[in-house]
Structure 1
Amino acid sequence: MDDDVLFLSVAELGRRYRDGSLSPGEVTRFTLERIERLNPVLNAFITVTAERALLEAERAEAELRGGLDRGPLHGVPVALKDLVDVAGVPTTCGSRIWADHVPERDAAVTTRLETAGAVLVGKTNLLEFAYGIVHPDHGQTNNPWDVSRTAGGSSGGSAAAVAAGLCFAAVGTDTGGSIRIPAAYCGVAGLKPSYGLVELDGVFPLSWSLDHAGPLARTSEDARVLLEVLTGRSFALERDLSGLRVGVLRTHTEGAEVEAGVRDVFGRACGVLREVGAVVTDVEVPGLDLADAALLNVLLPEASAVHARWIAERPEDYAPATRAQLELGFAVPAVTHVRAGQYRRHLARSFARVFGEVEAILTPTAPWVAPQEDPAVVEGEGAAEARRTGPHNLTGFPAHSVNGGFDRAGLPVGLQIVTPAGEDALALWLGGRLEGLLGSVRRPPDPA
């Protein structure tokens, strides 16, 4: 079998299952062989569920032959970030704290995937408890486009696995950009849905009021298919790009940290939208400069509350920088946390007013292409990395990253599409149109 099969769209794979030219069993076996070959280089998976995957693939194959069709993910290899529970499979959260933890119940998203007939090939690597730091026990996930660079955090394992053809789609989580930044670095599509759209029962929390779970896939269309399975809702949308009102948030397209390659790709995307008749105008969001601090003043104490018992009883089992961040969270005054909550409401109202003028907002996802390592959450580079993504965790509005093209070194550059609350379908639709117009969906070369 040619490995191009592992880069088919979900829809095309499904068609080939149903016409008999491919089967879930052979595709799953080929996927597992590719994982075995490339995972030592990429470090995208913590746990590979090979035996389970083969059984699920055999069941899907028998069901499809027998006329039982569970939908577009039936027999499709997928992966879950390793803070999503699967009964009987370890959930490590990328930490020594939970090295031996095996849940007894499935997360809600796991149940939905199982009901849809998806084939789980494994649990993907992540930063420790999704908190911005690699635990040395697990190590960094490397970028399929350049293995000397990070795949991004914290859902880097999911993004790298999708980009490298180790699965067709994956679930990640996003508290300040942790789906969208890895999607940008790895050249795939990643949606942070509207807050609360994807159920988080059975997903280990980082910050209850900021956490989102969502899809990572090679295209916006495949991400839409996964989101529909995760929610039981349709996100199909048909409309014309001509006349679409797109706002460019100049505050997030400028700044010393924005690399020239990112500016070039972003400028080309804006130009292409204008060429097809979209109305592209500059917009401003008052008070946006306060978002970096507000995000931390919500995130730090909430994360510390989650880990209060373990940080007291087992501090040495955390990576040193994770432990330092958790200890810092206890020092955030309650009044500061409350004021950050007030600011969140103000920010959401400000964005809502902008959405009275435009239908979508376009920015770079990150100011740079994939760096060598993930910057720490609370330091300067960490704030800059999440500056364009974090505000949308504060508001809860949907935000979608797609690959917009490549810099001169051939590294992917992400474009972020933000839409009003509940308009996830619009974000995915526009992402798909941009992918088509820019010709930006490509597979990376196989890492050496």
Structure 2
Amino acid sequence: MSSTLHRLSLVRLADEIRRGAVSPVDAVRCMMDRIAAHDGALHAFAHLNDAALDQARRAEAEIAAGLVRGPLHGVPLAAKDLFDTADMPTEFGSPVLRGRRPAQDATVIARLRAAGAIILGKTTLTEGAYADHHPDVVPPVNPWGAGHWTGTSSSGSGVAVAAGLIWGALGTDTGGSIRLPSSCCGVTGIKPTWGRVSRAGALALAPSLDHMGPMTRSVADAVTLLGVMAGPDPRDPTASQLPVPDYMAELTKPVRGLTIGIDRGLLKARADDQVLASMEHVIEVMTGLGARIVDVTLPPIEPALTGWAVQCAVEAAIVHREHWSTRAAEYGPRLAALIERGHRHTAFELAEAQEHRRDFAGAMEAIYAACDVLLIPGLPVAGPTLDYMSGLGEDPAAILAIGPFTAPFDVSGQPTITIPCGLSETGIGGGGIPIGCQFAGPRFAEALIARTAHAFQTATDWHTRRPAGYA
């Protein structure tokens, strides 16, 4: 099984390890071998854990002795390099924090370890979790096509999962940074409700917009991680006190009779023909499963997007104020421009953005009086190329052009799940590039949107497809 071990789902791997059929040591070695073979070309990892094999041996001995720590015991995972890890650097994709060694794990890292996971490494990200990699960092490469965008900012996490270099990875999402890489790389990503997952020990881009979530091959794998990550945390007073559902138990409930809303006017105005066709495919599948499609009209997204840009800039300027005062010249151009804009925005502009945000969030919650969940694309463009991305213009225009279907849900704080639902007709080099869709729901409806997405994955095989050369 060792040569095909990477093909197992995270859920199946965890079960095989618990039964003693697979050794955690073999699982770690499998990923280390694949990273050694492929990451020189993909650049998904920023750091690897030198103690991973020792941790795997300890897990193997514990399981053999009947001590199972949790649902992830012995499973190798990766984390975006903004989550504090006491045994590896956390550098935020920036030379300003090069060599930073936290004394304590982030809450979500501590929870994953308590559940038995082995954090094999830290994945590459854009500088400060914003729009572009620092000039000193080699950007990750999309395994589906090197001339195509990986999505930002959880670029390394998306690439690592897609290429089978890890069974699951953590990402963060401020304007789409879990969902954009998930769409571009053909993986499953959950942006939970703001507050569902603790932000303690995670370096921030814009705290009131930042969401923490999993990126995996499938919905079942993703909710396995989310169930461990979520919950109240005394280290983060903004973390919700609501109990965490049994997400896996919820997956098996049927979707017959579920009402799915779609704003066709918004899609036609913003999405290209291939994306629109993929949405029709999703509608056909979900209708065949017994769901009902209804037309809805979302509130205007432009004020929310404009306000998002203001809030992100101001909050980023606050986050970086300590280093900015003495080390501004070391920042890359995209993050530096964001921070500079944050310093220029007026209190009036920020207050106006916050007012738009409150109005938009309220109007979005009201949408669910007409439907149970929303269907919306992950990206407006199928398989965007690097050339296309470079032609979008300067911030904030570029961010808002590529994130009209993602950033609004960071503004509202509502949960969404992104899953692969098709391939573009062609990509650079001839192969298709993944297309993703999202199911969104009201606040704290992660179980509902995951059930909807899981139903789609039981009826299709998009999530099982792997890029050529990495199968």
Partner in structure 1 of residue 429 of structure 2: none
Say which is worse superposed, 9-18 or 153-162, in terms of deviation.
Answer: 9-18
RMSD of aligned residue pairs (Cα, Å)? 1.7
For residues 114-139 of structure 1, the C-alpha deviation after alignment (integer angstroms, 9 at most, x for no partner) is 10110111000000010111102112
d(CA) in 1 for partners of 2:203, 2:175: 15
Alignment of 1:395-406 (within 5 A): 395-406=412-423
Partner in structure 2 of residue 102 of structure 1: 101
Q: Is the 8 A contact 1:79 1:122 kept in 2?
A: yes
Equivalent AA in structure 2 for residue 225 of structure 1: T
Partner in structure 2 of residue 28 of structure 1: 28
What secondary structure is seen at the aligned counterpart in 2 of 1:146?
coil
What secondary structure is seen at the aligned counterpart in 1 of 2:213?
strand
Partner in structure 1 of residue 261 of structure 2: 247
Q: 1:377 Cα deviation (Å)?
A: 7.3
Pair 1:326–1:370, CA change in 2 (3 A): farther
Say which is worse superposed, 413-422 or 21-30, in terms of deviation.
Answer: 21-30
d(CA) in 1 for partners of 2:337, 2:330: 12
Equivalent AA in structure 2 for residue 94 of structure 1: G
Partner in structure 2 of residue 432 of structure 1: 454
d(CA) in 1 for partners of 2:163, 2:287: 32
Q: 1:369 Cα deviation (Å)?
A: 3.1
TM-score, length-scaled by structure 1: 0.96
d(CA) in 2 for partners of 1:170, 1:251: 35
Partner in structure 1 of residue 347 of structure 2: 334
Q: Is the 8 A contact 1:246 1:358 kept in 2?
A: yes
Q: Is the 8 A contact 1:377 1:383 kept in 2?
A: no
What secondary structure is seen at the aligned counterpart in 2 of 1:142?
coil
d(CA) in 2 for partners of 1:227, 1:426: 14
Q: 1:282 Cα deviation (Å)?
A: 1.2
Pair 1:377–1:426, CA change in 2 (3 A): farther
For residues 103-123 of structure 1, the C-alpha deviation after alignment (integer angstroms, 9 at most, x for no partner) is 111110111011011011100
Partner in structure 1 of residue 440 of structure 2: 418
> Of 371, 391, 395, which residue of structure 1 is paired with 2:408?
391
Partner in structure 2 of residue 6 of structure 1: 6
Pair 1:58–1:277, CA change in 2 (3 A): same
What secondary structure is seen at the aligned counterpart in 2 of 1:446?
coil
Partner in structure 1 of residue 134 of structure 2: 135
Q: 1:401 Cα deviation (Å)?
A: 0.5
Q: 1:18 Cα deviation (Å)?
A: 3.2
Q: Is the 8 A contact 1:140 1:150 kept in 2?
A: no
Pair 1:221–1:208, CA change in 2 (3 A): same
Equivalent AA in structure 1 for residue 189 of structure 2: G
What secondary structure is seen at the aligned counterpart in 2 of 1:67?
coil
Which sections of structure 2, spanning at least 5 residues, go unmatched?
A: 232-243, 427-431
d(CA) in 2 for partners of 1:393, 1:286: 15
Q: Is the 8 A contact 1:252 1:364 kept in 2?
A: no
Partner in structure 2 of residue 83 of structure 1: 82
Equivalent AA in structure 2 for residue 443 of structure 1: R
Q: Is the 8 A contact 1:243 1:277 kept in 2?
A: yes
d(CA) in 2 for partners of 1:447, 1:316: 39
d(CA) in 2 for partners of 1:3, 1:299: 44
d(CA) in 1 for partners of 2:315, 2:165: 34
Pair 1:354–1:298, CA change in 2 (3 A): same
What secondary structure is seen at the aligned counterpart in 2 of 1:253?
helix
What secondary structure is seen at the aligned counterpart in 2 of 1:74?
coil
d(CA) in 2 for partners of 1:274, 1:377: 41
d(CA) in 2 for partners of 1:199, 1:19: 31
d(CA) in 2 for partners of 1:195, 1:253: 25
What secondary structure is seen at the aligned counterpart in 2 of 1:443?
coil
Q: Is the 8 A contact 1:179 1:191 kept in 2?
A: yes
Pair 1:252–1:289, CA change in 2 (3 A): same
Partner in structure 1 of residue 234 of structure 2: none
What secondary structure is seen at the aligned counterpart in 1 of 2:395?
coil
What secondary structure is seen at the aligned counterpart in 2 of 1:271?
helix
d(CA) in 1 for partners of 2:404, 2:458: 27
Q: 1:94 Cα deviation (Å)?
A: 0.5
d(CA) in 2 for partners of 1:208, 1:423: 21
d(CA) in 2 for partners of 1:48, 1:368: 34
Q: Is the 8 A contact 1:405 1:438 kept in 2?
A: no
1:147 aligns with 2:169: no
Say which is worse superposed, 438-447 or 121-130, in terms of deviation.
Answer: 438-447
Q: 1:160 Cα deviation (Å)?
A: 0.9
d(CA) in 1 for partners of 2:297, 2:416: 17
Q: 1:32 Cα deviation (Å)?
A: 0.4
Q: 1:371 Cα deviation (Å)?
A: 2.8
What secondary structure is seen at the aligned counterpart in 1 of 2:97?
coil
Q: 1:2 Cα deviation (Å)?
A: 4.7
d(CA) in 1 for partners of 2:3, 2:303: 47
Say which is worse superposed, 425-434 or 10-19, in terms of deviation.
Answer: 10-19
Q: Is the 8 A contact 1:113 1:230 kept in 2?
A: yes
d(CA) in 1 for partners of 2:451, 2:354: 31
> Of 295, 303, 323, which residue of structure 2 is paired with 1:310?
323
Q: Is the 8 A contact 2:301 2:404 kept in 1?
A: no
TM-score, length-scaled by structure 2: 0.91
Equivalent AA in structure 2 for residue 420 of structure 1: P
Q: Is the 8 A contact 1:48 1:123 kept in 2?
A: yes
Partner in structure 2 of residue 351 of structure 1: 364
Q: Is the 8 A contact 1:241 1:277 kept in 2?
A: yes
What secondary structure is seen at the aligned counterpart in 1 of 2:47?
strand
For residues 76-115 of structure 1, the C-alpha deviation after alignment (integer angstroms, 9 at most, x for no partner) is 1100000000013111100110112111111101110110
Partner in structure 2 of residue 48 of structure 1: 48
Equivalent AA in structure 1 for residue 421 of structure 2: G
Q: 1:4 Cα deviation (Å)?
A: 2.8
1:67 aligns with 2:80: no
d(CA) in 2 for partners of 1:141, 1:250: 34
Equivalent AA in structure 1 for residue 259 of structure 2: R
Which sections of structure 1, spanning at least 5 residues, go unmatched?
A: none
d(CA) in 1 for partners of 2:8, 2:394: 35
What secondary structure is seen at the aligned counterpart in 1 of 2:365?
helix
Equivalent AA in structure 2 for residue 174 of structure 1: D
